[in-house]
Amino acid sequence: MATLDDIVSLLDRELRIKEVPDYPGALNGLQMHGRQDVKRIAVAVDASLPVVKKAVESGADLLIVHHGMFWSGARRVTGATYEKFKIAMDAGLAIYSAHIPLDIHPVVGNNARLVSAIGLEQVEPFFEWKGILLGLRGRFEGALDQLVERVGEVLGGVPHVCSAGSREAGLVG
């Protein structure tokens, strides 16, 4: 069985948590300690109250999120924030966040997984921020409608498109 410390150590190392710059209030890494024995892991975009409730209901020991619980420095622990913290702590749920480190990871990163799932070709990094390249862009050979359909399939929703140009997709980033 994996321990929380082992998983955190692995994530910190693989995602380069201490090396990758991020927004000052992002607090990447383990944000809330929980049970040491980890049998079930939940993954989500945000550490919102509904997500924490769902993770606890599913029996998760660890919740890994892209957008953690802290973004803008100190804040009051009241209302929904208090409820979220209390539910997680009472259940022994650990919460781990990786924002920019997860965006830029070349294999398991959000951008890498998305361009692969969509089927972009000639993929290259772009958009420099604080000395790192945050985004990926690539070519989609086909019509814009085909790209929209593919993105919808991959993400499970209907993309909103504002287009005033070519009907060919071309460079996507």
**Angstrom distance (rounded) from CA 53 to CA 9:** 25
The tens digit of pLDDT for each residue in 77-118 reads: 999 999 999 999 999 999 999 999 999 999 999 999 999 999
**Angstrom distance (rounded) from CA 163 to CA 170:** 13
Q: Are residues 8 and 82 in the same domain?
A: yes
Phi, psi of 137, deg, nearest 5: -135, 155
- DSSP letter at 19 equals T
Q: What is the mean pLDDT of residues 117-140?
A: 94
According to the model, what pLDDT value does residue 170 have? Answer: 82
* Full domain range(s) for residue 61: 2-99
Q: Are residues 37 and 112 in the same domain?
A: no
The CATH code of the domain that includes 22 is 3.40.1390.30
Instruction: Report strand pairing: 37-38 vs 2-3.
Output: antiparallel
